[in-house]
């Protein structure tokens, strides 16, 4: 099990490195794939997916919506002429697929009544926002003017925080912070994760980012941004765990051997990515 988990982890990191370094269509394609996979895992977890069928009409609506959403991001980029701020017109274009998923889900609810329950309709829209839309901020962050440097803050705040929290919790963790939701998480581990992410971010800023942003305050800004992102990454991790407990499942899927599904590995990244995007747009 350990060897399988280790090999899967190495492959996952290699793919992330490839996507983040090259960006563009490579990152776009990977983002679309993990968005669809994560969306389908959520559909299975919360009951949008019918047990006796491989895929249903609601899921098809979601997949079409994902493809349309990423097409909008690609053909109507949020970053124009070196400006990291979103173009308002392009933001409105990106909203169209989101509204489309909602309206088509409602249409299916009406014309196929009583095949689908209201809970399935609401869950379908939630799943679309939770996985594809939130994950898309990885791509949006990389597409910023200095995105090839900034995008790494997402991994520092999420996977970096996870690693530091695990090590600190294992070494000195005593006080259980969420005994019902996550019995293994400790207050010391949570704090260690945030502080650890901040330290990694500070080192990254000193040796890499300061070469791009000559303002010396950038190290402080990057450190604070990553610490905020680390807090939110733990919220994302716990929220994903809460959904699994609500629906009595161990893992979201089996796509990543030894790790579970996309949602099991990207649960913290999902919440961290939009946080890093907006904080860097506002303060860098």
Q: Are 155 and 270 in contact (CB under 8 A)?
A: no
Rounded Cα distance between 277 and 178, Å, is: 28
Rounded Cα distance between 129 and 98, Å, is: 8
Rounded Cα distance between 141 and 206, Å, is: 20
Per-residue pLDDT of the chain (284 residues), as tens digits, is: 667 877 888 888 899 899 999 999 999 999 999 999 999 999 999 989 877 678 899 999 999 999 999 999 999 886 554 454 555 556 788 899 999 999 999 999 999 999 999 999 999 999 999 999 999 999 999 998 899 999 999 999 999 999 999 999 999 998 999 888 988 899 999 999 999 999 999 999 999 999 888 787 999 999 999 999 999 999 999 999 999 999 999 899 988 887 889 999 999 999 999 999 999 989 98
Question: In 156-186, which ranges are continuous DSSP H helix?
Answer: 161-172
Rounded Cα distance between 269 and 103, Å, is: 28
Q: Classify 213 as helix, strand or coil.
A: coil
Q: What pLDDT score was predicted for residue 2?
A: 63
| The length of the chain, given as a count of residues | 284
Residue 189: give the domain boundaries. Answer: 2-283
Q: What pLDDT score was predicted for residue 77?
A: 82
Q: How many domains does the chain have?
A: 1
Rounded Cα distance between 207 and 219, Å, is: 10
Question: In the chain, which ranges are continuous DSSP H helix?
Answer: 2-22, 24-46, 57-75, 88-111, 118-128, 134-142, 147-150, 152-155, 161-172, 187-207, 218-246, 262-265, 267-283
Q: Are 230 and 222 in contact (CB under 8 A)?
A: no
Residue with the two structure tokens 């010391």:
188
Q: What pLDDT score was predicted for residue 12?
A: 86
Rounded Cα distance between 100 and 114, Å, is: 21
């Amino acid at each position: 099990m350990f060897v399988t988990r280790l090999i899967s982890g190495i492959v996952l990191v290699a793919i992330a490195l490839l996507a983040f370094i090259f960006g563009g269509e490579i990152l776009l394609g990977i983002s679309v794939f993990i968005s669809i996979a994560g969306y389908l895992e959520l559909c299975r977890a919360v009951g949008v997916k019918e047990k006796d069928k491989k895929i249903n009409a609601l899921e098809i609506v979601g997949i079409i919506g994902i493809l349309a959403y990423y097409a909008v991001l690609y053909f109507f980029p949020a970053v124009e002429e070196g400006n990291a701020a979103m173009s308002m017109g392009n933001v409105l274009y990106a909203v169209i697929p989101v509204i489309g998923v909602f309206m088509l889900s409602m249409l299916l609810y009406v014309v196929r009544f009583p095949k689908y329950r209201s809970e399935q309709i609401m869950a379908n829209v939630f799943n679309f926002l939770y996985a594809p839309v939130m994950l898309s901020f990885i791509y949006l962050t990389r597409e910023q003017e200095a995105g090839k440097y900034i995008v790494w803050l997402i991994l520092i705040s999420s996977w970096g925080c996870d690693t530091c929290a695990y090590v600190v919790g294992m070494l000195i963790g005593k006080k259980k912070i969420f005994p019902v939701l996550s019995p293994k998480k400790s207050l010391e581990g949570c704090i260690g994760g945030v502080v650890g992410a901040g330290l990694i971010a500070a080192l990254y800023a000193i040796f890499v980012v300061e070469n791009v942003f000559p303002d010396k305050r950038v190290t402080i800004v990057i450190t604070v941004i990553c610490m905020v992102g680390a807090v939110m990454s733990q919220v994302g991790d716990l929220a994903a765990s809460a959904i699994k407990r609500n629906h009595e499942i161990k893992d979201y899927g089996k796509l990543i051997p030894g790790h579970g599904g996309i949602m099991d590995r990207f649960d913290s990244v999902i919440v961290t990515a939009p946080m890093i995007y907006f904080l860097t747009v506002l303060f860098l």
